[in-house]
Amino acid sequence: MKYLIVNADDFGYWPSVNRGIVDCHARGVLTSASLMVTGHAVAEAIALSGEHPRLSVGLHFDVWGEDERSFPTADLGAVRDEFNRQLDEFERLLGRLPTHVDSHRHVHRDEHLFPLFQELVEPLGVPLRGDHKVAYVGGFYAQWEWKKTQLEYVSVQHFERMLREEVADGWTEFGCHPGYVDGMRSVYLAEREAEVRTLTDPRLRRTIDDLGIRLASYEDYT
């Protein structure tokens, strides 16, 4: 069986990102989201998750944000402490553990950090992006060169090609970054709105069904 999770990063970062994620979940194919407990709109994200209980929520570990904060990622002790702080905050806000763990800008996948994150996440019993429990596909993204927008990579046609070519037997995650342009500081803005249009397009659901793929969430995996 082929299981597909469509997971949005940056939940909680900004109100317009929250709105885009929830729209894609309620009207489209998005099934899961990764929460930034450091985000400007995390309280709103928590409230929205309560209104949409079928949206599974994981931890999006973040030390940089979109405002380029400084953090000593070479200091493994500091990273460990910050992870535990964010995990505690996640549990305080949602009253439960995350359904999965990943990170902003994939910082946890840096060679010197990944073994540490494997150690930290293993007791939680949930997937860590990159640990091969769920195959991560990140091709649905519209800015492969800095500040150069390429909307063809977040089109319906591109998503359908990914469905045909990159969903194998077992569990697969398609990453995404939907949202709306509404006062947010980011180099990735119009691209987010294009993602919303694609992820809510009814053609995707039909293609998923035609290919015999089961749309699922990280809650289903755990």
pLDDT at 64: 85
pLDDT at 186: 84
What's the burial of 73, exposed, middle or buried (CB within 10 Å: 0-12/13-18/19+)?
middle
Tens-digit pLDDT profile for the chain (222 aa)?
Answer: 999 999 999 999 999 999 999 999 999 999 999 999 999 999 999 999 999 999 999 999 999 876 667 899 999 999 999 999 999 999 999 999 999 999 999 999 999 999 999 999 999 999 999 999 999 999 999 999 988 999 999 999 999 999 999 999 999 999 999 999 888 888 899 999 999 999 999 999 999 999 999 999 999 997
pTM of the entire predicted model: 0.96
- The domain locations on the chain are 2-221
| DSSP per position, 121-162 | HGGGTS-BTTSSSSEEE----S-SBTTB--GGGGSHHHHHHH
- The Cα 32–Cα 45 span in angstroms is 13
pLDDT at 28: 98
Query: What CATH number belongs to 2-221?
Result: 3.20.20.370
- The Cα 139–Cα 55 span in angstroms is 22
SS3 2: strand
pLDDT at 68: 67
pLDDT at 85: 98
Q: What are phi and psi of 126, to 5 degrees?
A: -125, 160
